[in-house]
Amino acid sequence: MEAYFLSSSAIKPVALGETGLDRFHLPKDAGEAERILDLQKASFSQSLQLAKQWGVPVVVHSRGAFQECVDLIDASGVPWNQVIFHCFVEGPSEMEQLLRRGGWGSFTGVATYKSADTVRQALRAQGLGRLMLETDAPYLTPVPHRGKPNEPAYLVHTAEAAAQTLGVTLAEVIETTTDTAKTVFQIP
């Protein structure tokens, strides 16, 4: 089955993911947590090799494991211009690390939350030209719908928060992020 997939370019996916490391959902037992994290690292590394082989972008899930994800991506040889850290909730210094390498951060409804100043600083550090937005539906619903299940129609609120953060118009955010997503995911 795998050989078939790899030999047929007609069914190559647009991207691979989300894949990555998550320290948030680890079991309480330290030994068991380490075992699970090792499995996550092995799985993530294999996903990265597959993305490299296929030449497709990889959507990275990183929760409490930013540096470990960066290190594994560095080691993998995946081109950084095909790496998207989805649901970017780190600060500006982590964003600088991505920008230095040519990677991308994608922002969710968190950018609308009052307490999320460092996330907005990261958004500003990325700038309009490299900005990416996403829903992460049904999670991370933007204000003013926070508390309800998220859906794509609410993305406009995240875009509004981005526009406000960047001091640009909503139309500019919509146009630029659409172009960027098409470029990064090679969508015609």
- List of residues contacting Zn ion (CB under 5 A): 18, 61
Tokens (6 digits) for 26 = 């680890």
158 vs 176, beta carbon nearer Zn ion: 158
Residue, CB closest to Zn ion: 61
In the complex, the smallest distance separating the C-beta of residue 20 from Zn ion, rounded to whole angstroms, is 7
Tokens (6 digits) for 110 = 């968190």
60 vs 159, beta carbon nearer Zn ion: 60
140 vs 159, beta carbon nearer Zn ion: 140
In the complex, the smallest distance separating the C-beta of residue 4 from Zn ion, rounded to whole angstroms, is 29
Establish whether the linkage from the previous residue to 13 is cis, with ω within 30° of 0: no
Using alpha carbons, select from 9, 183, 47, 165 the residue that is nearest to residue 104.
Answer: 183
In the complex, the smallest distance separating the C-beta of residue 52 from Zn ion, rounded to whole angstroms, is 21
In the complex, the smallest distance separating the C-beta of residue 81 from Zn ion, rounded to whole angstroms, is 21
- Environment class of residue 140 by beta-carbon count within 10 Å: exposed (0-12), middle (13-18) or buried (19+)? buried
Tally of CB atoms within 10 A around 133: 22
In the complex, the smallest distance separating the C-beta of residue 17 from Zn ion, rounded to whole angstroms, is 8
18 vs 68, beta carbon nearer Zn ion: 18
d(CA 20, CA 108): 18
d(CA 20, CA 65): 9
Contact (CB, 8 A) for 51 and 16: yes
Residue 19 — φ and ψ, nearest 5°?
-145, 150
61 vs 120, beta carbon nearer Zn ion: 61
